[in-house]
Structure 1
C-alpha cells in the first residue's frame, strides 16, 4: 500500500481548477504547467481532474521511493505498472462512517453482497474488483506518457520518456506497411499499456427500467431519469442545465456538450416535461431559488445546493437497493442510444447528432444486438428445437424415398 501523501486539490478558480500538492503542501510545478497546457487545449475541468488522479497515484509511487519526477526512469515506470497489476485498490472511508465515528469495513459490500469482481445476477455487469481494472491501468499509462511527452518538449523532464511506445511503433507510424487486402490489426500505443477488452455497452431492459423508475421516491428523481433516457445526454451535461434551458413548448432541453462546450437543444419525451413540471412546482413551493440563470437541479433538503454528479449517483444507487442491480448513470445514456439506434425509422446519423459522437463508427456499436436480446433469441431457438418433431429415419437400402412418401401419404 502506498502512503496517501499529497493530494489533488480543487481550487474553485476557473483559471486553475485543480492543482497537485506534494507531501509538504507545495504545488508540483511540472503538473501545474501541464494543467495549464490542457486548459489551453480546451480540455474541460473534469478531464483535468481525471488526469490529476492518475498523476497523483504516480507521484505517490515516486515519493515513496524518493525519486524526483524529472529523474524517473523506465525501470520506475515498469515497476509502477507491475505494482498496479498486483496491488489492491485503496479503500476509503465513506462520509457516513466518519460522521458516526465508527470503523469502516475493510471492503464495502456491493448492492447484493456479492464477492468483488463477480457478475451481478440482475444486470450481468461485474461488481468492482479488488484490483485495478485494465481500463484504469490503460488510462494511467496514456496520461503519464502524454505528461512526459510534454515535459520532454519543454525541457523539464528526463532525457527519455519513462513510458515508451511499443517497439512496433518506434521509428514509424501505425500500419506503415499494411496490406490493403488484409484487415487492420490492433496496435498497442504504449509498451506498458494493457489490452482492454471491448465490451458491448450495457442497456437497461424495458421491464427493469420500469421497476427502477417505480423505485424512485421524488419527482425530481423521476424527471432526471426520464430526461437522461429520452435525450441521451451525458449525466454531467444534464446536471449543468439552467432553469431557462427546458422548452416544454418545443419539447427541447438545452445542454452544454462535454467536449465542444457548445449549446445543443435535445428533443425529449412528453412525459419528461410532466415530471419536470411536478418537480418545479414542489421545489419552488419549498423555497428553492428561482431564476432563469440559476441551476435547474437542486438538493431536496436545506441548505439548498445545486445537485452534483455524486449526489445523483447516490440517488440512483439507493433506488437499486431493492432491485439488487448495479446500473450506473452512464447506462442510462446507453439505454437511450440503444432505443434510438434500433428504431428502423430513425436514421443513424440523427442518433449520432443526439449523442454528439465525432464519428459514425462510435454510434454503430449500438446497432448490434445487446446481450439480453442475444440470450432471449437463443432461448427461443432452443425452445423451438425442443418442440419440433424428430425427422423420420432414413429408409433402408434398396427402397425409393419417393415411393415411401406416396405409400405413407407424406408431403413431398
Structure 2
C-alpha cells in the first residue's frame, strides 16, 4: 500500500541520553527505556574506535528512524526497503516538525549510513531482518568506490547507491575582514572576543576549542592544545597574539571554581563549562544585531581561507592546521568564489574599455621605390 508521507504525523517521542556507564549514549524509546539493540550497536561502535560525539550523532539519526517507524506502525525488525524509501521521501518532502522544507542532502545520507550500519550489526548478531532495509550500491566488483583512494589524487565520482542524495557542490563561506570586524565589535564580553579570536586564528572546530582545559594553554609558545574530532589525538595549534591578549583579559574577570579545569566558562552563576549551545547563542545574538547569519563553523572557514590566501603558507600547512585527513579536502578552499570572480571580470572589462586604441599604421608610400624592390620586400613576380 502506498503511503502518503506528506500526511504522516511523526511523533516527537524518545530521546538520546547520556549515561555514565558504557557505551555512554543510549536511545530512549517512547516509555523512556533504553533500546537494548541500539545500546549493543553503540557498544560495538565504541569498541571499533568511534568517539562519544559520534555516538550521539548516530543516536540522533536512529531517533528519527525510530520515530518514523512509530508513525507508520512498523517495528524495527520488520522494516523493509519500502520503509527506507518512504523514510527518505519524508525527510526530503516534510522534514522536522512538519515544516515541509525537508532535511539537507547531507543529513539524509548520514541517516541512511547510520541505519545501514545498525542493521548490518544486528544481522551479524543474528537479530533483526535477513535483508538490510538500506540497499548497497550496485557495483560489479562488490567493493566500495574509492576504497583505496590515493590522498594526493581527486576522488573519482561513482554511482550513488539507491536512496542516496546528490550532494551539491558547496563553497565554504567565510567572513571578509570588514564583516569580521563588524561582528567582533558587537560582542559583549572579553570571553566572547577571546573565543572568536581563537576560532579565526587556530581554525579549530567549535567543539574542539570548547573542550580545551587550562593545562592546554601554552602562552610562551603561543599555542593551544585541542583534541581532534574523530581521532581524539592531541594537537597543539598556533594562535594569534591578539587571541592570547583577549584570553588574559577574560581570565582576569573570571572567578574559576576550585578544581574547574575547563578553559571556557559561563558568565552567569552557577559557573560551569561553556557548552556548544551557549556559544552558538552568543553568536546568534551578534547576528541579530547585524542582520546576518554567521555560524561557528564559518569562523573555521574564515581561518582556513586566510591561511590559503597567504602565499607564505603551503596547502599542506593548512591541511595540518585544519586536521584534514586528505589534502583533497583542503583543496575546496582553492575554488574561486562567485563574487570575487565577478569583481575581477568587471575590472577586466573596465580596463579594456579604458585602454587607448592603437592607431592603424600609416599607409606605405610606394612612391620612389622601383617595382623590383617592392617585389623583393612583399613578394610577387619580378618585372
Normalised-by-shorter TM-score class = 0.7 to 0.9
Aligned to 1:268: 239
Q: Residues 173, 300 of structure 1: CA spacing in aligned structure 2 closer, same or farther, 3 A cutoff? A: closer
SS of equivalent residue, structure 1 residue 264? strand
Q: CA deviation at 1:154?
A: 1.6
SS of equivalent residue, structure 2 residue 274? coil
SS of equivalent residue, structure 1 residue 253? strand
Aligned to 1:313: 280
> Whole-Å Cα distance in 1 between the matches of residues 293 and 60 of structure 2?
24
Aligned to 1:250: 221
Deviations 1:307-364 (A, max 9, x none): 0100000001111112211111011111111111221111222211111111111112
Aligned to 1:143: 114
Deviates more, 1:76-85 or 1:232-241: 76-85
> Whole-Å Cα distance in 2 between the matches of residues 47 and 175 of structure 1?
23
How big is the alpha-carbon RMSD for the aligned residues of Structure 1 and Structure 2? 2.4
Deviates more, 1:251-260 or 1:223-232: 251-260
Q: CA deviation at 1:189?
A: 4.5
Gaps (5+ residues) in structure 2?
A: 1-7, 148-153, 366-383
> Whole-Å Cα distance in 2 between the matches of residues 175 and 139 of structure 1?
18
**Is 2:257 aligned against 1:289?**
yes
Aligned to 1:303: 270
Aligned to 1:331: 298
Q: Residues 320, 339 of structure 1: CA spacing in aligned structure 2 closer, same or farther, 3 A cutoff? A: same
Are the equivalent residues in 1 in contact too, given 2:112–2:134 (CA < 8 A)?
yes
Gaps (5+ residues) in structure 1?
A: 92-106, 108-128, 177-182, 393-400, 407-412
> Whole-Å Cα distance in 1 between the matches of residues 267 and 155 of structure 2?
52
SS of equivalent residue, structure 2 residue 253? helix
**Is 2:381 aligned against 1:374?**
no
Are the equivalent residues in 2 in contact too, given 1:215–1:319 (CA < 8 A)?
yes
Deviates more, 1:145-154 or 1:204-213: 145-154
SS of equivalent residue, structure 2 residue 188? coil
Aligned to 2:49: 42
Tell me the TM-score normalised to structure 1 length.
Answer: 0.79
Are the equivalent residues in 1 in contact too, given 2:15–2:29 (CA < 8 A)?
no
> Whole-Å Cα distance in 1 between the matches of residues 143 and 48 of structure 2?
26
Are the equivalent residues in 2 in contact too, given 1:11–1:18 (CA < 8 A)?
yes
Aligned to 1:19: 26
Are the equivalent residues in 2 in contact too, given 1:169–1:189 (CA < 8 A)?
no
Aligned to 1:224: 195
Q: Residues 17, 391 of structure 1: CA spacing in aligned structure 2 closer, same or farther, 3 A cutoff? A: farther
> Whole-Å Cα distance in 2 between the matches of residues 14 and 44 of structure 1?
15
Q: CA deviation at 1:220?
A: 0.2
Q: CA deviation at 1:147?
A: 1.6
Q: CA deviation at 1:386?
A: 4.4
Aligned to 2:67: 60
Q: CA deviation at 1:66?
A: 2.3
> Whole-Å Cα distance in 2 between the matches of residues 131 and 162 of structure 1?
21
Q: Residues 290, 255 of structure 1: CA spacing in aligned structure 2 closer, same or farther, 3 A cutoff? A: farther
Q: 2:105 aligns with which of 124, 131, 134?
A: 134
SS of equivalent residue, structure 2 residue 289? coil
Are the equivalent residues in 2 in contact too, given 1:6–1:20 (CA < 8 A)?
no
Aligned to 2:380: none
SS of equivalent residue, structure 1 residue 320? helix
Deviations 1:6-60 (A, max 9, x none): 3223234152322112222222122111111111122122211111111111111
SS of equivalent residue, structure 1 residue 265? strand
> Whole-Å Cα distance in 1 between the matches of residues 358 and 131 of structure 2?
70
Deviations 1:182-214 (A, max 9, x none): x97522452110101121111111110011111
Q: 1:81 aligns with which of 55, 76, 88?
A: 88
Deviates more, 1:304-313 or 1:352-361: 352-361
Deviates more, 1:199-208 or 1:40-49: 40-49
> Whole-Å Cα distance in 2 between the matches of residues 383 and 351 of structure 1?
35
Aligned to 2:206: 235
